[in-house]
Each structure stands twice: as C-alpha cells, then as structure tokens.
Amino acid sequence: MRGLLILLSLACLANAQHQALIDYLERRLLAIEDRISLWHEQITRYASELRELKQQMVSQLENLDKEKETLRTSLDSMGSRVDRVERELDYLETQNGAQPCVDVDDKLIEQQVTLVQEKQKAKYFKLTDCSDMISSIKAMKILKRVGGPKGMWTKDTSGASKKIYIFNGTAEDTINEFASVQDLTRSQGFSLSSDLKLPSPWSGTGHVVHNNQVYYVSRAEEITVVKFDTRNNSVTDSAVFPLQDHVPVYGLTSETLMDLAVDEEGLWAIYATRQNEKHISLAKMDANSLDVEQMWDTNCPRENAEAAFVICGTLYVVYNTKQPGRSRVQCVFDVNDMVTTEEAALIYFPKRYGSHSSLKYNPQEQLLYAWDDGYQILYKLVMKKKLEI
C-alpha cells in the first residue's frame, strides 16, 4: 500500500512537471507570436513609409525636371536677349565715336529717334499672301454675361488650344481660363474656370493669346509687353515699348494705353503718343523676340474711338456713332496701301449694350471676340479680297 502511494506521488509530480513545461511552452509561443505580430506591423509600416518616400521622390524628381525645363527656357530667352543687346551695342559703337560722357546720352537719343523714323519709312514686307478684308458682319451671338463692364476675352489665335481666356477688368493679375467655349456658356459665373496668375498686373484691355503665350501690357514707369507661357506658368520674355509719352489709344477706353492684336501676319501693337495724340499709330512686332519691326502713323482719329483690330495688315478702327446702340468702322489703314477708308464700305455692328472695351480678331475662325458692358459676344465676319474693291 505504501509503495502504491509512492507511485501515485511520483506520477502526480511528473504530471505537474509536464503541465508546467506545457504552460511554459505556451507562454513562450504566445511571446513569439506577439513578437512576430509586432515585426509584421513594423514591416507593414516600413513598407508604407517606403512607398510614401518613393512617391515623394518621384514628385520631387518631376518638379526638378519642370524647374530644369523652366530654367533652360529662361536661360535661352536670356541668352537671346543678351545677344540682341550686344548686337545693338556693337551697332551703336560703330555709329558713334569716342565722345565725352556728357554727349553720349544725346547721341543715344538721336539714334533712337533715327531708328524710329527709319522704321516708319521702311517698306513693309508681307509675311503671308493674305489679301482679305471685311465685307460685312454676318451675325452676332451673345454667349454670356460674366465679369465687369470692361475686360477682354479670347481664344488662342494660333488654334493651338480650345481654351478660353478672360481678362476681367483693366488692372488685375489673374486670368480666368475655361477649357472650352461650352464650359464658359454653361458655367455659373467663373465656377468652371481655373485661375492663371500672372507675375504682374495687366493694364487696360489690349491683350492677346497666341501659340500658348499670353501677350499682355503691363504699366509701371514704362509701357512693357510681357510674354507669359501658359504651359509652365513662367515669363518667356518682356520688352519695353521704345516710345514714351503714351496717351490712351482710344478716346472712349481711357484705361488702354496700348492694344495688342494678332492677324495672319503676326503680332501688332496699336498705340498713341503725345507727339501725335490726335491720331492712332500702328507697329508690327516680332512675336518671338518682341522687337518692333516697323511703325506707322495713321490718319485714324482717337476721338470717339472705342476699339480696333487688324486683319491681313489692315487696321480697322471702331467708333461710337450717335445712333443708339450702334458702332461702326469709320477709319481703315492698310500698311500695303491696298485699302483706304473711302474705298472700304462702312461696316456697322449690330445693336449692342454699351461700348466695346475690346475687339479681338481670330484669324483661324474669322471671328471677332467682343467685350461689351460685361457681355461676351462673337461677331461672324464676311470677307472679300482687297483687289475686288
């Protein structure tokens, strides 16, 4: 009996040791499982952080590529401007000998006056075979009323984009950009537009968009034409217009000191100065370098003029008539002397609301984009050949 009790005691002791071993192993397994779970969480977190870091690196590399392209474009533009300045300095050095410093400014002023006179007298060489002129205005379509009484709206005149650009007001720095005319017409105000911020405020309503470039007039101490790339939101070039003492180009739009225009021949500047303040002047500009290629003094009066545009090298100036709600072209100036005001038929615009603050011709569509007291209007033109008159 005593031996049996001893055996039972030994068996219980063995079971207790076995149970203790099992409990110990279970605790170790649970600790290992907790450690594995912690490692899994850490690995998942590290993987997520690595993915985020990769995305950030990709984004940073894309931004660096964009900044590199922008810097390259700026350097190319700066290089061309430096080359232009060097050529002008070389030319001035060949034309002017060593003079006392007090006489240099006078010589430079005389040189600038001479260059302007030469540009006014030189014969204009056409860039295209365009010989169209307006016969009449076929139709008028009111698309929208958005913005203030004065402004400008247009499409890219080169046909490079379907986007619509709205310059609301006469002294702002943010353009409203619509993806299409359809988005403009169905938009509640500017709700469907995106903002395109310029580096400096524009002045007046005389701006254009051509080949993905915004050409706008900025005024500080001098009149400056700024070229702004809509694709990378950067200034491509800028140039001070080589004349001073500007006066408003139109008698009825006093905020506009210079009106830029685009036709089949390229970029034009419509302006007026105090030296010839009763009449409007015209200049042909290089759209790439912003150099002034040639200038003309026209016989078109500023008084009672509200807007103007250029088609095939012909300037059409629009005046406010005494008839209620009517405007018409009363003065025409053709740089090739093929059209005169007397020969061209008087072109009337349909009934309008106030006064045109801007008229922008699109040579791809043969449409006029008009801003009339906050209304965005399209005028469909009927054309004919100049030689037919």
What's the pLDDT band for 94 if we cut at 50, 70, 90?
very low
Question: Can you read off the two tokens belonging to residue 360?
Answer: 């922008």
- Average pLDDT of the residues in 146-154: 95
pLDDT of 17 reads 74
And the tokens for 251?
């008698």
Question: How would residue 318 be classed by pLDDT, with cut points 50, 70 and 90?
Answer: very high
pLDDT of residue 387: 67
In tens, the pLDDT along 193-246 reads 999 999 999 999 999 999 999 999 998 778 999 999 999 999 999 999 988 889
* Residue 102: per-residue pLDDT: 35
What does the chain come to in residues? 389
Q: In the beta sheet, which residues pair with residue 140?
A: 379
Q: Percent of the chain, pLDDT > 90?
A: 50
User: Which pLDDT tens digit goes with each residue over 69-78?
Assistant: 888 777 777 7
Q: Which tops the pLDDT comparison, 49 or 91?
A: 49
Taken in order 345, 350, 351, 353, the sign of the CA dihedral is negative
Q: What whole-number distance in Å separates Cα of residue 263 and Cα of residue 367?
A: 11
pLDDT score of 91 = 46
91 closest CA partner among 72, 114, 73, 69: 114
Q: How far is 325 from 339, CA to CA, in rounded Å?
A: 27
pTM recorded for the entire structure: 0.69
pLDDT at 101 over 60: no
Sign of CA pseudo-dihedral 173, 303, 332, 318: positive
pLDDT band at 65 (very low <50, low <70, confident <90, very high): confident
Q: And the tokens for 296?
A: 């003309």
